[in-house]
Amino acid sequence: MTKKIRLLPLTIIIMSMILGVRIVDFSVGVEEAFARNSAPETESKAEKPQEGDKEAAPAGEEAPRQLSSAPTRKEIEYLQKLSERREELDRRARELDDRETLLRAVELRITERTNSLKKIEQTINAALKKHEAIEKAQLDSLVKIYSAMKPKDAAKIFNDLDDDVLISIVENMKEKKMGAILAKMNLDKAKKLTVSLATRMKLPKIEG
């Protein structure tokens, strides 16, 4: 009987220890299960932005939109028109350059032609002056010859001379000598020469 009484407290202690271990194991399992169930909610709440955290946009203003890097259709059309306009300006610039080059070439040719004509003109004038000097020298020589001749002999030659040559000689002779020759000339020839000289003296001088 006494042994049974002594075993009873010992049995109670052992049962208490066993129950205590089970209660601890149960509580640890419940805490781990609660932790597993509450973790996704905590993470989802952390990931999702709270409505209160959002900054409200000012009244009357729209939230800024993210600009797209791709050009719009209007921008593409504008760039195409700009490119066409630039090509047109380049084409006109090339045409102006070609015209300017052509004008310079024509101007150069005109200048060269003008200089060539001036040289030709100078050559002609020099030749004319030389020819006139020769004619003047010949005419002076004839005047001296006819002036030295007797009026009768000079009159015979004057009757057969061409009118233009005769007038040129008579104009350069002295009046006294010419009067004596006219008196010995053929009457019709002398009359014609006198009319030609009178008409020639009345003609106005042309200034060249």
Model confidence pLDDT, tens digit, residues 10-29: 555 565 565 554 554 555 55
Domain positions in the chain: 74-136, 149-208
Quote the tokens at residue 140.
């002076």
**How confident is the prediction for the chain on average, in pLDDT?**
76
Q: Give me the numbers of helices (H) and strands (E) for the chain, helices first please.
A: 6, 0
Question: What's the pLDDT tens digit per position in 79-121?
Answer: 888 999 999 999 999 999 999 999 999 999 999 999 999 999 9
Measured CA to CA, the distance from residue 172 to residue 85 in angstroms comes to 81
Q: What's the one-letter identity of residue 197?
A: L
Element (H, E) at 165: helix 163-171
CA dist 179 and 197 (Å) reads: 13
Q: Tell me, what's the pLDDT at 130? A: 92
Distance CA 191, CA 48 (A): 142
> What is the arithmetic mean of pLDDT over 176-203?
85
| The model's pTM | 0.42
